[in-house]
């Protein structure tokens, strides 16, 4: 329940200030000054502003996508080639498929390539499969024929780093793996026409 009353206060003057509030404010402490100054932003010098303006177009262009001028290319190093070992050492004596494995390294990435073909057929093209392992995910793999009419192939890389090329003719090939803003080039690969069974 609310009570309401009216009182005529026209002749009464009230002083709502206490004696402490009527005195001039005390000087702020060192901590108060530091906190107040930390909330204000200083105007940057003109040289800093100009440097920021000079950097901005380059960053905007990089955000739009990679270009030839800022694309970084690295070369992979061969660490293993099964073509240097005999089939008995690899346990392939009873295998009817010709297989070859290459292992490459580039910075923190490893590239495993496997070439296979049915040795009983002379007209079956080669298959090349691979996996890219490392801290950054590869986006796509390009395979370009070094010889004139060999061809051009491109596939996307799976979430696990796997890729696969089917029905590749014999010849010399250049393989490149694209990441975000950079790529790894693998030294030239070559495989012959499959021998007759």
So where are the chain's domains?
73-191
Residue-level pLDDT at 53:
64
Distance CA 63, CA 57 (A): 10
For 73-191, CATH gives 2.60.40
- pLDDT average, residue stretch 33-54: 72
Average pLDDT across the chain, whole number: 76
CA distance 84 to 95: 18
Task: Tokens for 63, please give them.
Answer: 């955000």
**Predicted local confidence at residue 122, as pLDDT:** 58
DSSP 168: E
pLDDT band at 137 (very low <50, low <70, confident <90, very high): very high
Asked if the model's pLDDT at residue 34 lies above 60, the reply is yes
Using a 10 angstrom Cβ sphere, with 0-12 exposed, 13-18 middle and 19 or more buried, the burial of residue 189 is: middle
What's residue 93's pLDDT?
46
3-class SS of residue 174: strand
pLDDT at position 192 is 80
Strands (E), the chain: 72-75, 77-81, 97-106, 109-118, 126-133, 140-145, 152-156, 162-168, 171-178, 182-191
Phi, psi of 193 (to 5 degrees): -65, 135
Name residues whose C-beta falls within 8 Å of residue 27's C-beta, 6 or more positions apart in sequence.
none
Q: Is pLDDT of 154 > 50?
A: yes
């Amino acid at each position: 329940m609310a009570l309401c009353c009216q009182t005529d206060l026209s002749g009464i003057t009230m002083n709502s200030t206490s004696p402490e509030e009527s005195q001039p404010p005390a000087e702020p402490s060192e901590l108060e000054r530091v906190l107040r100054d930390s909330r204000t932003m200083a105007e940057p010098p003109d040289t800093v502003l100009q440097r920021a303006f000079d950097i901005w177009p380059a960053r905007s262009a990089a955000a739009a996508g990679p270009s030839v001028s800022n694309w970084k290319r690295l070369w992979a190093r061969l660490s293993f080639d099964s073509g240097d070992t005999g089939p008995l050492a690899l346990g392939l004596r009873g295998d009817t498929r010709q297989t070859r494995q290459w292992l490459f390294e580039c910075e923190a990435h490893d590239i495993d390539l496997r070439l296979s073909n049915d040795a009983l057929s002379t007209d079956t093209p080669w298959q090349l499969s691979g996996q890219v392992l490392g801290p950054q995910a590869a986006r796509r793999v390009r395979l370009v024929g070094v010889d004139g009419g060999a061809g051009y192939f491109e596939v996307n890389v799976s979430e696990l780093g796997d890729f696969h090329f089917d029905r590749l003719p014999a010849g010399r090939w250049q393989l490149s793996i694209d990441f975000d803003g950079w790529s790894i080039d693998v030294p030239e690969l070559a495989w012959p026409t499959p021998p007759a069974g």
